[in-house]
Amino acid sequence: MSEQVTYRDAVGAAIRDAMTADDRVFIMGEDVGRYGGTYAVTKGMIEDFGEDRVRDTPLSESGFTGAGIGAALGGMKPIVEIMTVNFSLLALDQILNTAATFRHMSGGQLNIPVVIRISTGAGRQLAAQHSHSLENWYAHIPGLKVLAPATVQDAYAMLRPALEDPDPVVIFEHVMLYGRTEALDKEATVDLSSAAVRRNGSDISLITYGGSLYKTLEAAEKLAEDGISAEVIDLRVLRPLDDATILKSVGKTRRAVIVDEGWKTGSLAAEVSARIMEGGFWSLDAPVGRVCSAEVPIPYPKHLEDAALPQVDRIIAAAKLALGR
């Protein structure tokens, strides 16, 4: 049975349902309790579950992420919320050198079942210290699973298997998605290893994830008006990447454009492009295209912020270039 809910409320419902089902699950982070969360995801939870399970933390990403890792080692299932991806860099030592390595360094004796939720992306005029897309940095790290749910359904359904995973899972939630309303079926499930084909097409593959999905779908609609059939792939799982779905799509359409809000240099788009070249070169009829953010810190003024980000017109132009139009 499906219902219309916002992305924000889908994430909140997933957390509530997980905490109700398992006493070991708790959430911690800056402003998650009395304030109700920076994006109102945890509103009302402290009244329902109490301060032991909805823990406001000091402004110390390294400190509270480390505490979450310790709790996971002790048998708990913590959800650590980091306010924005830029601030997550303060906890990168804990995530990379501790959470991602303990299974390997302990010879498989230790697991860290921690879920780290991070808001990411631009579009809200929050300027250069709150607006970047650094998902590819985390997708680079062995020992992590990295998710980027773009739909309301995935925002809800991905949390349960993430909490059941014995190893650390990082979930990126794009800030421009929180207010989006879509259908949610709480009974539907999703695995943490597959991309999703959001639109079928035959002329070109548009590959994206997170906050860029809906711009890419809009571009595909407009391309259809010009007689171009675009297939849209939502990566949604950034580590491990679903090479099979990507290569199957490119093998059919023979052209690809990757849309990535990260910077082009060293981007996730570069990684996907390389995998297409390695696994599908002989299927290609044109070079792989990339639409990424401008190589600048994200500006504050709206017109400059918009200019810096991938937009529908740029996606359309890149697709037509690949098609020789």
Which pairs with CB-CB distance under 8 Å and at least 24 residues apart come from 18-23? 18/77, 18/79, 18/159, 18/160, 18/163, 19/45, 19/49, 19/53, 22/77, 22/163
Is 303 one of the annotated active-site residues of the chain?
A: no
256-263 and 289-293 as β-strands: parallel, antiparallel, unpaired?
A: parallel
Residues 251 and 269: beta-carbon distance below 8 Å: no
Residue type, 247: L
30, 47, 51, 61: the catalytic one is 61
Is 174 one of the annotated active-site residues of the chain?
A: no
3, 30, 104, 130: the catalytic one is 130
Q: In the chain, which residue ranges form alpha helices assigned H by DSSP? A: 7-21, 45-49, 61-73, 85-88, 92, 102-105, 135-139, 152-157, 159-164, 213-225, 243-253, 268-280, 302-308, 312-322
Active site residues: 61, 130
